[in-house]
Amino acid sequence: MSTPMPTTCTDSVKPRVGLTAPWVFLLLLVWISAGCAPTPAAQPATVDDVRAHALAWLHSQELDTGGFPDSQGQISPNSTSTVLALLATLPADEISEFRIQDALTALQSTLIDWLGAKDSGPLARAVSGVTAAGGDPRHTAGQDLVADLWANYDPQTGLFHPESLFRHLLAIQALSAAGETIPAAAQTAISHLQQPDGSWSWRITASTQPTLSNTSTPSTEPPTPPTTGDVDTTAQTLRTLAALGITADDSRVQAALTYLAQTQSAQGGWAMDADTPPNADSTGLVLTALGELGLADQPDPAIRAAQAQTWLATLQQPDGSFHYSADLPGAIFLATLDSLPAFQWQFKP
């Protein structure tokens, strides 16, 4: 009867009674030559690998028109604007397959219906997308998008939106990218809305809205912040401050970093609030903010950024897209757009 094959390579060289040391040595040589040498552990994907894989998936979503779709597969000016703004932050050789000018043309063809009441949120997205693609947001589809966005600015509060800090932040980022000078009052409003724990909330209410006596001088009685902030808006605020040239040693940034350290999950990621598991969107936004603040090479010691990046990479699927969380695919397109920028840096432990 033939001898069964060993189930593992080590089984084939277990010492046998009666075998002398030379025979064991010869068996070991045979074992190695037969391909049973230990296999090196697979190396984890690099940030370049993760980013390239995600970009390949994103390129596969590009429509024939050059634009990018909504959940129904129709061209979405919001998706297209967001993608164009993202691509502009990446090296030219990594985005050469994307049809940027076609995407810009597709975006311009859909702007009028999308902008509607000219809310600062969509306007900011449009200005960012057009600017990123090399277009002129002051002369796009017969409109001056920059002037329309400025029309939403209230010098008495310093806000571009009366109810949404997130949209206020998008407006500042868009106008800054378009070469506009941001009023001091718009930055002061951000400071007024920071909560005692260092966070910011997306929502602005009548009781929290700052009131400024002019465009640069805050009132003597700042508003009472809302009772709770959220990770996403805090990260977006940090990104906005970074775009304005604010550095990591700023007191507002330091307070926000303390908040983010306290809200980081055991797995390493972040959720929008403490009652839900970590997700790709929140984690990607935080890591991108940290990278833009220059904290990839010199991380805040209280924040486990390298662990967060490793955890986020586990949400990448075989096709290159990202799931919203470990148990929920969620909005894959948005999760991928929020995750991809976080892999522009290799965060150090």
Is 235 inside any structural domain? no
Q: Are 92 and 58 in contact (CB under 8 A)?
A: no
41 vs 113, which has greater pLDDT?
A: 113
**How far apart, in whole angstroms, are the C-alpha atoms of residue 290 and residue 247?**
11
- Domain membership of residue 328 as a residue range: 253-349
Q: How confident is the model at residue 68 (pLDDT cuts 50, 70, 90)?
A: very high
Shared-domain flag, residues 260 and 341? yes
Shared-domain flag, residues 133 and 157? no
Shared-domain flag, residues 139 and 158? no
Q: pLDDT tens-digit profile of 234-287? A: 999 999 999 999 999 999 999 999 999 999 999 999 999 888 999 999 999 999
Q: Are 314 and 271 in contact (CB under 8 A)?
A: no
Shared-domain flag, residues 224 and 304? no
Please give the model's pTM, rounded to 2 decimal places. 0.83
Shared-domain flag, residues 164 and 185? yes
Domain count for the chain: 3
In eight-state DSSP terms, residue 43 is P
What is the pLDDT, as a whole number, of residue 278?
97
The mean pLDDT value for 124-139 works out to: 98
Q: Are 232 and 285 in contact (CB under 8 A)?
A: yes
Is 111 inside any structural domain? yes
Please identify, among 229, 245, 276, the residue that sits at the C-terminal boundary of a domain: 229
Shared-domain flag, residues 259 and 347? yes
Is 101 inside any structural domain? yes
Shared-domain flag, residues 263 and 201? no
Shared-domain flag, residues 346 and 258? yes
| Gap between the terminal Cα atoms of the chain | 56
Is 330 inside any structural domain? yes
323 vs 22, which has greater pLDDT?
A: 323
Shared-domain flag, residues 90 and 169? no
The mean pLDDT value for 78-86 works out to: 97
Shared-domain flag, residues 102 and 126? yes
Where would I find the H helices in 32-182?
Answer: 47-60, 77-87, 100-115, 120-132, 145-150, 165-177
Number of H helices, E strands in the chain: 13, 0
Question: What six digits make up the tokens of 104?
Answer: 């810009």
What is the pLDDT, as a whole number, of residue 81?
98
Is 37 inside any structural domain? no
Shared-domain flag, residues 137 and 177? no
Shared-domain flag, residues 84 and 121? yes
